Amino acid sequence: MEADSLGSRRNARRPDLVSAERSIHRALQRTGRTYYAQFPAPLELYLITRTQCTRDAVESGVSSGLSSAHILMGLERNARGRLHSIDLPQYQKAAKRARGELSWSVPRGKDSGWAIPSRLKARWALRKGRSEDVLPRLINRLPSIDLYCHDSPWTPEHLAFEFETIRPKLRSGSRLSSPTTQG
């Protein structure tokens, strides 16, 4: 009986992944986004965060916060860690996203990370600005980086800048994640 009680208490503290997924997708749908350019496999970020027992995760590029939310769910489940995000938001020009407008543009009245469920934001630190300006100062404050998620401009020059900047803070077992490159 005591084991059942302990199991119930553990389950009560666990984040509900399905509930969080539904909340994120409802937020996206409310802004008319049935398709949304995002990190292609956000559940992988959750699993990496969980299995790495990530303490300090850094991400470059937030937009709606889909990737951020999955890292934050992993941190919440691990009951430790922090996500340090950098974003230079691109805002939609009109109430409805125009044809040809960036798919990751932030809807009017919203801000970076707008789809992240509120309960997950306690482990989140958002810094707005260009990665070239923010990233060097940020990493100087961190002892190490366990997970780095690059989801910002996908040019070889930008990737090289970010990866060279974070390299001194990577430890054995750190993970880097980037959806694609172009150029």
Residue 1: pLDDT above 60? no
- Note the pLDDT of residue 31: 67
Cα(170)–Cα(20) distance, rounded to whole angstroms?
30
Q: What is the pLDDT of residues 58-105, one digit of tens each?
A: 999 998 898 899 999 999 999 999 999 999 998 887 766 667 666 677
Cα(58)–Cα(150) distance, rounded to whole angstroms?
8
Sign of the CA dihedral running 69, 23, 114, 154: positive
Q: What is the dihedral of CA 76, 178, 60, 137, to 10 degrees?
A: 100
121 by Cβ neighbours in 10 Å (0-12 / 13-18 / 19+) ranks as: middle
Question: How many H helices and E strands in the chain?
Answer: 6, 5
pTM for the model stands at 0.78
Q: What percent of the chain has pLDDT over 70?
A: 72
- Note the pLDDT of residue 2: 41
pLDDT band, residue 117 (cuts 50/70/90)? very high
56 or 66, higher pLDDT = 56
pLDDT band, residue 139 (cuts 50/70/90)? very high
- Note the pLDDT of residue 97: 66
